Structure 1
Amino acid sequence: MLSWALFFLVVALIAAVLGFGGIAGTAVSIAKLIFFVAIALFLISAIAHAFRGRRV
């Protein structure tokens, strides 16, 4: 999922360099959304793992 965020970030940077402001802004928004969703899923997974504990 973080690879998608990185992809959209690269697309945004290329679009910004070429002067496509609207496309760059949209790509940055998508990259930020995907990044924060990935962070939220990571935190949920870490908390679930902590509550589950270690099984023997």
Structure 2
Amino acid sequence: MLMARQGRHGATRRQPKGAALERWLDRWLDKIVTVAVVTALVVGLSAVLAHWLL
């Protein structure tokens, strides 16, 4: 039974080229969004600090 499950898992892991490209694009979009959010937070906090200090 375990061997059959492994065989099925191996078969389902093989994806068409479109799905692999979509996964790669999804990873990159996730990184870009994360960088954009962190940048926005840093800029916002810097503006608040500058407003308080100046």
Report percent identity of matched pairs. Answer: 11
CA deviations 1:12-33 (Å, max 9, x no partner) are xxxxxxx611100000000010
Question: Highest Rg: 1 or 2?
Answer: 2
Number of equivalent positions: 37
Q: How far did 1:44 drift?
A: 0.0
Q: Find the counterpart in structure 1 of residue 41 from structure 2.
A: 43
Q: Find the counterpart in structure 2 of residue 34 from structure 1.
A: 32
Instruction: Supply the RMSD in Å over aligned alpha carbons.
Output: 1.6
Q: Which has the higher contact order (CA 8 A, sep 6+)?
A: 1
TM-score normalized by the length of structure 2: 0.62
**5+ unaligned residues in a row in structure 2: which ranges?**
1-16
TM-score normalized by the length of structure 1: 0.60
- Secondary structure of 1:20's counterpart equals helix
Between the aligned partners of 1:49 and 1:20, the Cα distance in structure 2 is 43
